[in-house]
Amino acid sequence: MSKATPVLSVRGVTRTYESMAGPLTVLKGVDLDVMPGEVVGLIGPSGSGKSSLLHAAGLLERPTSGDILIDGKDVGDLPERARTHIRLASIGFVYQFHHLLAEFDARDNVALPLRIAGVNQTDARARASEVLTALGLGERLTHQPAQMSGGEQQRVAVARALANRPRLLLADEPTGNLDPATSQTVFEALHDLVKKTGVAALIATHNMELAGHMDRVFALKDGHLEERPAESHAY
Ligand SMILES: Nc1ncnc2c1ncn2[C@@H]1O[C@H](COP(=O)(O)OP(=O)(O)OP(=O)(O)O)[C@@H](O)[C@H]1O
């Protein structure tokens, strides 16, 4: 039986920034595979390079060296247009701050990227409603961000990232702005949907309680990834 292909493969990735004090290498040869339906946690102190790794994995930046493979395909040598296409079609992002559009309701915030991807209004709204309902927001479809709690707003951001049915979900401190109980609710909703849809998820977090519920956890230390022993007890 052939082994499944990872959705994301990071191979020997390095990232060096030029700074006033000289070159700063934050990633020193990172290897990581994330499989379909897997939730992988990325931990490490502030400045250890978590966002740098997510930006490389999300094709937002090119690593200094090493390869990024999406569904087994090396995307490093592709022109920017092709990388943008893969990003729009296959990768969803969730950030610490939701960046929802204030004048749009929940459904239209989620439908917007689908409209940009060419889905018609009726279908985009139907799919947005479906994902929002799956995240427990069926009663909030026509609420604007200001009419929702922080946790609800962040679940809308998760719905927006997943509405296009991406292969890969990248989240940078998705619950960093929420209180512990709300963090847990948002994470549970995200985790549940990842497991249902089979998307591969890589989630940077400072929240060790949440990290304990992920399938595997890696710590970034001195530019390298170290796997942390599983203490996970799945939801
Ligand atoms: N564009 C840049 N130019 C120069 N240095 C940068 C740049 N981006 C990041 N850095 C530096 O690289 C290091 C890693 O940053 P990064 O944002 O990846 O860390 P992080 O682990 O995500 O931190 P945090 O948990 O605070 O978000 C930091 O020291 C940061 O100052």
Q: What is the 3-state secondary structure (H, E, C) of 9-37?
A: EEEEEEEEEEECCEEEEEEEEEEEEECCC
Question: Mean pLDDT over all residues of the chain?
Answer: 93
- What pLDDT score does 97 carry? 85
Model confidence at 78, in pLDDT bands (50, 70, 90)?
very high
Q: Is the pLDDT of residue 15 over 80?
A: yes
Q: Is the pLDDT of residue 98 over 90?
A: no
Span 175-185, average pLDDT: 88
- What pLDDT score does 147 carry? 96
Model confidence at 230, in pLDDT bands (50, 70, 90)?
low
Beta bridge partners of residue 227, listed in sequence order: 218
- Going from the Cα of 180 to the center of ligand 1, the distance in angstroms, rounded, reads 25
Q: Is the pLDDT of residue 25 over 80?
A: yes
Model confidence pLDDT, tens digit, residues 50-62:
999 999 999 999 9
Separation of alpha carbons 102 and 216, rounded Å: 36
Q: What are the CA-CA distances from residue 164 to residues 50, 89, 119, 148, 155 (Å)?
A: 25, 7, 10, 23, 15
Domain extent listing, the chain: 36-64+76-228
Model confidence at 234, in pLDDT bands (50, 70, 90)?
very low
The domain 36-64+76-228: what is its CATH number?
Answer: 3.40.50.300
pTM for this one?
0.93
- What pLDDT score does 214 carry? 95
Separation of alpha carbons 147 and 200, rounded Å: 31
Show the beta-strand stretches assigned E in 20-114.
22-34, 39-43, 65-70, 73-74, 91-94
Model confidence at 1, in pLDDT bands (50, 70, 90)?
very low
How many other C-beta atoms can be found within 10 angstroms of the C-beta atom of residue 72?
10
Model confidence at 4, in pLDDT bands (50, 70, 90)?
confident
Span 69-74, average pLDDT: 96
CB of residue 51 inside a 6 A radius of ligand 1: yes
Model confidence pLDDT, tens digit, residues 211-220:
999 999 999 9
Sole residue written with tokens 């998705």: 174
- Going from the Cα of 139 to the center of ligand 1, the distance in angstroms, rounded, reads 39
ipTM of the complex in this document:
0.95
Helix (H/G/I), strand (E/B), else coil: 183:
helix
With CA atoms as reference, report the closest residue to 12 among 57, 74, 62, 68.
68
CB of residue 19 inside a 6 A radius of ligand 1: yes
- Going from the Cα of 46 to the center of ligand 1, the distance in angstroms, rounded, reads 8
CB of residue 96 inside a 6 A radius of ligand 1: no
Structure tokens, 207 = 């929240």
